[in-house]
């Protein structure tokens, strides 16, 4: 089992048990305690996890909603693919486009056709790699600290870099859309990066499957009032649609 897969599994255990012990994890994953300590040190740098004597724990009121970046484990995959395809239809020639590292947004690069001539800005290695296969696309990969489990960059360097750009359209994902009209992410550096993108993009497209509505996560990064278009799937309920209509957001249902 590689580091990324093991870290995802440890996060899942933490969310269920609230705390873990190094020796128990080492036994469960058939690896050394030193390896588990390195995993926990990595996770504490990226999530709201506190190291304890012999293990780690989540704060009492903390929630980590970790999206799996393993394609085989992504939930609502069919809906996400339809949303990604619909998002690609909004792309016009010669636009400066930002695509973030979400499990929905990163798939839209697969639907951008070879005839398109655009500048793709991203913080996700997978998006950058696929975009580079298109001869007519220019690709800018944001620098900064890399988040291992998501293959993306974040932090001060990425924020300062994106703040110098002017974007025509940005495609963003979210961990949650609350009934308060706010959009949330579970990881604070990515939330800050997305907040910066609101300031530099002429148009914001939020790509969220229906399961993300009427719930919350750790870090607010924007409001539906700042969003121009929401692309979701047909599973969205009446309350979700009313929330989008109340905030005067254009809604596209991917079918």
Structural domains for the chain: 3-58 (1.10.10.10), 74-254 (3.40.50.1360)
Q: What pLDDT shows up at residue 64?
A: 52
Of the pLDDT bands very low, low, confident and very high (cuts 50, 70, 90), residue 71 is low
pLDDT of residue 30: 94
| pLDDT at position 244 over 50 | yes
Bridge partners of residue 220, in order along the sequence: 184
- Confidence category of residue 218, pLDDT binned at 50, 70, 90: confident
Q: Where residue 62 falls among pLDDT bands split at 50, 70, 90?
A: low
Residue 92 phi, psi dihedral angles, 5° rounding: -110, 165
The pLDDT tens digits for 142-195 are: 999 888 767 899 889 999 999 999 999 999 999 999 999 999 987 778 889 999
pLDDT at 68: 45
* pLDDT number for residue 75: 60
Q: Indicate the angle between helix axes 3-17 and 33-46, nearest 10 degrees.
A: 70
Work out the average pLDDT over 99-118. Answer: 93
Distance CA 87, CA 151 (A): 22
pLDDT at 67 over 50: no
CB-based contact 104:88 (threshold 8 Å): no
Task: Give the pLDDT confidence score for residue 65 in this predicted structure.
Answer: 47
Instruction: For residue range 189-216, list pLDDT tens digits in order.
Output: 888 999 999 999 999 999 999 999 988 8
148 or 72: which leads in pLDDT: 148
Cα 252 to Cα 46, 131, 210, 231, distances in angstroms: 33, 25, 12, 5
Higher pLDDT, 41 or 5: 41
Q: What is the mean pLDDT of the chain?
A: 89
Compute the half-sphere exposure of residue 83: CA atoms within 13 Å on the CB side of its CA.
29
Rounded CA separation 11/121 (Å): 29
Tokens of 41: 């040190």
Q: Who has greater pLDDT, 225 or 64?
A: 225
- Token reading at 122: 């991203």
Per-residue pLDDT band for 9 (boundaries 50, 70, 90) equals: confident
pLDDT score of 131 more than 80: yes
The model's pTM is 0.74
Average pLDDT over residues 25-30: 95
Instruction: Return the DSSP state at 193.
Output: H
Q: What is the mean pLDDT of residues 32-46?
A: 87
Cα-trace Rg, the chain:
19
Please determine, for residue 61, whether its predicted confidence score (pLDDT) is greater than 60.
no
């Amino acid at each position: 089992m590689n580091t990324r897969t093991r870290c995802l599994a440890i996060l899942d255990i933490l969310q269920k048990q609230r705390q873990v012990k190094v020796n128990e994890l080492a036994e469960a994953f058939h690896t050394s305690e030193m390896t588990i300590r390195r995993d926990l040190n990595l996770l504490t740098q990226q999530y709201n996890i506190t190291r304890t004597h012999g293990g780690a724990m989540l704060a009492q009121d903390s929630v980590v909603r970790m999206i799996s970046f393993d394609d085989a484990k992504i939930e609502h995959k069919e809906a996400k693919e339809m949303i990604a395809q619909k998002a690609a239809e909004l792309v016009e020639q010669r636009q400066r486009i930002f695509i973030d590292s979400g499990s929905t947004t990163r798939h839209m690069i697969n639907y951008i056709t070879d005839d398109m001539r655009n500048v793709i800005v991203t913080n996700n290695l997978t998006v950058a790699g696929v975009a580079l296969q298109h001869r007519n696309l220019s690709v800018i990969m944001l620098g900064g600290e890399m988040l291992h489990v998501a293959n993306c960059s974040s932090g001060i360097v990425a924020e300062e870099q994106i703040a110098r750009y002017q974007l025509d359209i940005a495609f963003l994902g979210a961990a949650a859309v609350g009934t308060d009209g706010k959009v949330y992410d579970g990881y604070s550096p990515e939330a800050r990066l997305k907040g910066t993108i609101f300031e530099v993009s002429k148009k914001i497209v939020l790509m969220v499957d229906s399961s993300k509505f009427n719930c919350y996560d750790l870090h607010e990064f924007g409001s539906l009032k700042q969003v121009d278009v929401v692309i979701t799937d047909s599973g969205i309920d009446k309350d979700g649609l009313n929330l989008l209509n109340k905030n005067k957001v254009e809604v596209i249902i991917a079918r």
